[in-house]
Structure 1
Amino acid sequence: MSERRLPPVVARMWGRETSPRHGPRPSLDLARIVDAAIRIADRDGLDGVRMSSVAREVGMATMSLYRYVGSKDELLIAMADAAAPEPPALDGRAWRDYLTDWTRANRDFLLGRPWLLALGQHTPPAGPRALRWLDRALAALAGTGLGHGERINIATTLTGYATRQASLAHALNVAAAGEPIAGLTEYADILGEVLDPDGYPALTEAVHANAFGVAEEWIDDADFTFGLDLLLDGIQALIDRRREH
């Protein structure tokens, strides 16, 4: 792809803008603006991020901000990329060991900055940080015999699992009408009170069998690992099938 065809926000994230700038040398750059927006989101949540609030944070007029970022949507895309940490180091690890760490780290940084969950996925990953996460997952699977498309689908699936788990943990830890559900134990108690055994026979039986566990908090690593192992077992089965042909 030529540089001239890059979407403006992608060009800015990669430092690949081609339009010449006239006038005084810019006093800011996209990175400093994005850092300011992330500080606001960490402090006030995503609702606090407005072009005017970011402009105040960096000490400039709101309209001047558009010289560096074309719109709030572009700013949010850049924030989502910059707010992610570096992915775990591969360090020659086997694919399963690495992707276990990779998926858990993905979940954990989303839980650490829940406004990223509210932000959602604006576009496919195109920033330098997000693409490093994708690159490392593909590299971990490089010796498995899987095709490039299969490896990308695996990375996408594991990302979706991490996001879903982070979203569930966050949602259930947030106050609902001022009363948070503290953990799996309390959740199971609530289900036991409301479920009709005739209408929900299988779920009622699961609750009575303590199938939801006894975690005092919503971040239950055993449950997370159980689901992740199901996905990784499926990947292993796919690898085995490819090797048989």
Structure 2
Amino acid sequence: MATVLLVRHGRTTANATGLLAGRTAGVALDSVGKQQAATTAERIGAVPLAAVVSSPLERCRQTARAITAFQQGEPQQFVERGIIEADYGDWQNRKISDLAKEPLWRVVQANPSAVVFPGGESMQTMQSRAVAAIRRLDAQVEAEHGPNAVWVAVSHGDIIKSVLADALGMHLDLFQRITVGPASVSVVRYGEHRPEVVATNTESGDLSWLAKAPAPTGDAAIGGGAGNPAPDDSAAPA
């Protein structure tokens, strides 16, 4: 099974000022976000990528370009509308502090599966189309590049949280328990028997083991297994 790195875009001007940008055009990374994207690109740089897929929105495309620039090879690059930001409808471009006073805010927090954003999409629809896109792309990457393939999907906080909730077997109503920070990397494998969530919301640490790991078997490691290969495992005694 292939391995997908779910990367949230770096911090934006809207994030920094407390606005819900949604699908607003032209929302770009701020200086902090550009540095976050560069750090994430460097972390992933040791891993040869089969593909870098991005949400159509500029902040994700900027982050994806930073990741691709650190690659020594030439991964496939394309945009996937299925992982675009949620359609927040009338909530778009409003301050988070104001939205927190709306009655719907409490539903978003406690019962997101019941939420339909006024003038926008439901959170169930958001999750369904995002999960379908990630699973379809993952199968495509594995078919083209084999079970050792690693690829990146650059998307948005709620989108990645909903994909992780699905992979963890969590009801959407529990997805607010998951945190996905700017430019964080989460790692998922879709196996024959179940998805395997390898990591969530990582903002630092070595990822080079992904380039050395054997193809996953799809079976769970009873007892926890031996863990990921260390950077110097090739020199370790048998």
TM-score category, normalised to shorter length: under 0.3
Q: TM-score, normalised by structure 1?
A: 0.27
Structure with greater strand percent:
2
Q: TM-score, normalised by structure 2?
A: 0.28
- Structure having the higher Rg: 1
